């Protein structure tokens, strides 16, 4: 692929354009808000001048409700050899495109399973998709050349291609992305009117659970409006678990021993099922869940501390597989959790201690 057009230069469009430009593809940027295309161009994502002739690939990265019309317009203008979108839902845009009478052989629906709670061109980054799944939903009509262009795009973004049927994709993302967004928002909404004294106690658990509650509501209304049935199905199952857990907790308040035992069993059941589900969440790069060991190091909130700790881990010859940072409320300090292969943990701990770091058990 030598040339591409990216329509919609927000978080995802700009990230795709940055990755492609970085790998030598000439990228033309377009957005219905020209300021956004200009901002993406200023970040080195390509040029906001239109191409002189048809390009190899047209990437549509606009909100789901506008995907089909934007694709149909681009196809009518003869923009490219192949067309794809990156919307978070796949069944709706495909059916709308069909209804618009578009040539489906030149199109493939795709969805990078990677994002952020921020939107807009300033939030984009060329490494956003590295090691993450990128779903491709070819239909029987999709031309092989177009599938190959999409596979090339995924490879250039260093993502991992996953081929799925559009409706199966929508059911899957209802479970792993759309329902978690709503649940995160609902937990965070409990804080809206909470006492300041309670909010000050927020620790890492609630930070993890509410991270995506900071997402753009307009974008999510668009996504949920395009996938309401599958999301409602998952939420209904969750509501049944909620009802049962409420009953178990009420039973725990009872004076009756038998009822309290039932309550314990109910609460334990949901927590254990949670352990089982969590153990199925894939590790980095979509591999089997990794059993890393954590080395927790105390750091002070000073410039260069993180760089120093990574450099010291490197000197010990240990590969840091993942990292988490816990900030201590109201203190200029925190804990860095370095996740490493179990065989490397004792070496890393000893080496960091030797270099003066304080480790937390």
Ligand X SMILES: O=C(O)C(=O)Cc1ccc(O)cc1
Ligand Y SMILES: NC(=O)C1=CN([C@@H]2O[C@H](COP(=O)(O)OP(=O)(O)OC[C@H]3O[C@@H](n4cnc5c(N)ncnc54)[C@H](O)[C@@H]3O)[C@@H](O)[C@H]2O)C=CC1
Binding site for ligand X (CB under 6 A): 88, 113-115, 177, 212
Phi (first) and psi of residue 132, to 5 degrees: -100, 155
137 binds ligand Y (CB under 6 A): no
User: What is the smallest separation between the CB atom of 116 and ligand X, expressed in angstroms?
Assistant: 6
User: What is the smallest separation between the CB atom of 178 and ligand X, expressed in angstroms?
Assistant: 8
Phi (first) and psi of residue 207, to 5 degrees: -65, -45
Q: Which is nearer to ligand X, 28 or 178 (CB)?
A: 178
10 binds, among ligand Y, ligand X, none (CB under 5 to 8 A by kind): ligand Y
* Tokens linked to 189: 């909404």
User: What is the smallest separation between the CB atom of 41 and ligand X, expressed in angstroms?
Assistant: 25
Q: How far apart are CA 361 and CA 306, in angstroms?
A: 19
User: What is the smallest separation between the CB atom of 2 and ligand X, expressed in angstroms?
Assistant: 28
Q: How far apart are CA 271 and CA 267, in angstroms?
A: 6
Strand ranges across the sheet with 160-163:
26-30, 3-7, 55-60, 80-85, 107-112, 133-137, 160-163
How many chain residues interact with ligand Y (CB under 6 A)? 28
Say if residues 30 and 5 touch (Cβ distance below 8 Å): yes
76 binds ligand Y (CB under 6 A): no
120 binds ligand Y (CB under 6 A): yes
38 binds ligand Y (CB under 6 A): no
* Tokens linked to 12: 């995802």
Q: How far apart are CA 294 and CA 300, in angstroms?
A: 19
Phi (first) and psi of residue 23, to 5 degrees: -100, 15
Q: Which is nearer to ligand Y, 71 or 338 (CB)?
A: 71
> Please, which of residues 84-103 interact with ligand Y by CB under 6 A?
86-88
Identify the bridge partners of residue 29 per DSSP, sorted by sequence position.
6
Q: How far apart are CA 7 and CA 3, in angstroms?
A: 14
Interface residue with ligand Y among 57, 61, 309, 313 (CB under 6 A) is: 61
> Please, which of residues 195-254 interact with ligand Y by CB under 6 A?
219, 223
Q: How far apart are CA 55 and CA 77, in angstroms?
A: 12
9 binds ligand Y (CB under 6 A): yes
10 binds ligand Y (CB under 6 A): yes
Going from the C-alpha of 213 to that of each of 64, 82, 122, 217, 282, the distances in angstroms are 20, 35, 20, 9, 22
User: What is the smallest separation between the CB atom of 187 and ligand X, expressed in angstroms?
Assistant: 15
Stretch that binds ligand Y, among 18-26, 57-65, 233-241, 352-360 (CB under 6 A): 57-65
Say if residues 351 and 315 touch (Cβ distance below 8 Å): yes
Q: Which is nearer to ligand X, 88 or 179 (CB)?
A: 88
62 binds, among ligand X, ligand Y, none (CB under 5 to 8 A by kind): ligand Y
133 binds ligand Y (CB under 6 A): no
User: What is the smallest separation between the CB atom of 163 and ligand Y, expressed in angstroms?
Assistant: 17
31 binds ligand Y (CB under 6 A): yes
Q: Which is nearer to ligand X, 43 or 169 (CB)?
A: 169
169 binds ligand Y (CB under 6 A): no
* Tokens linked to 239: 């509501």
Which positions ≥6 away from 74 have C-beta within 8 Å?
5, 7, 58, 60, 80, 83
212 binds, among ligand X, ligand Y, none (CB under 5 to 8 A by kind): ligand X
User: What is the smallest separation between the CB atom of 114 and ligand Y, expressed in angstroms?
Assistant: 6
Interface residue list for ligand Y (CB under 6 A): 7-13, 31-33, 36, 61-64, 66, 70, 86-88, 111-112, 115-116, 119-120, 219, 223
């Amino acid at each position: 692929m030598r040339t591409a057009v990216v329509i919609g230069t927000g978080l995802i469009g700009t990230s795709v354009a940055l990755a492609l430009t970085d790998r030598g593809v000439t990228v033309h940027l377009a957005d219905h808000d020209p300021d956004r295309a200009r901002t993406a161009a200023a970040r080195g994502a390509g040029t906001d001048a239109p191409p002189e002739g048809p390009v190899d690939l047209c990437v549509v990265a606009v909100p789901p409700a506008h995907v089909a019309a934007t694709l149909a317009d681009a196809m009518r203008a003869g923009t490219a050899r192949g067309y794809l979108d990156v919307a978070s839902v796949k069944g709706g845009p495909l059916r709308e495109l069909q209804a618009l009478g578009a040539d489906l052989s030149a199109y493939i629906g795709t969805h990078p399973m990677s994002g952020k709670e921020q939107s807009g061109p300033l939030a984009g980054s060329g490494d956003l998709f590295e090691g993450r799944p990128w779903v491709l939903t070819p239909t029987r009509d999709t031309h092989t050349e177009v599938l190959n262009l999409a596979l090339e795009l995924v490879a250039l973004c260093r993502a991992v291609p996953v081929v799925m049927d559009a409706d199966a994709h929508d059911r899957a993302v209802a479970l792993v992305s759309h329902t978690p967004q709503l649940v995160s928002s609902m937990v965070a909404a409990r804080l809206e009117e909470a006492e300041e004294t309670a909010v000050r106690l927020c620790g890492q658990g609630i930070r993890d659970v509410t991270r995506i509650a900071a997402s753009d509501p307009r974008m999510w209304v668009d996504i949920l409006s395009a996938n309401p049935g599958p999301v409602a199905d998952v939420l209904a199952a969750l509501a049944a678990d909620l009802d049962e857990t409420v009953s178990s907790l009420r039973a725990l308040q009872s004076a009756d021993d038998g009822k309290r035992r039932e309550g314990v069993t109910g609460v334990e059941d949901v927590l254990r099922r949670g352990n089982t589900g969590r153990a199925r969440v894939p590790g980095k790069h979509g591999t089997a869940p990794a059993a890393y060991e954590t080395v927790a190091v105390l750091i002070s909130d000073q410039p260069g501390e993180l760089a120093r700790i990574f450099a010291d881990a490197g000197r010990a010859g240990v590969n840091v597989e993942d990292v988490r940072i816990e900030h201590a409320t109201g203190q200029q300090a925190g804990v860095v959790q370095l996740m490493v292969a179990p065989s490397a943990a004792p070496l890393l701990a000893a080496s960091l201690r030797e270099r003066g770091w304080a480790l937390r058990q």
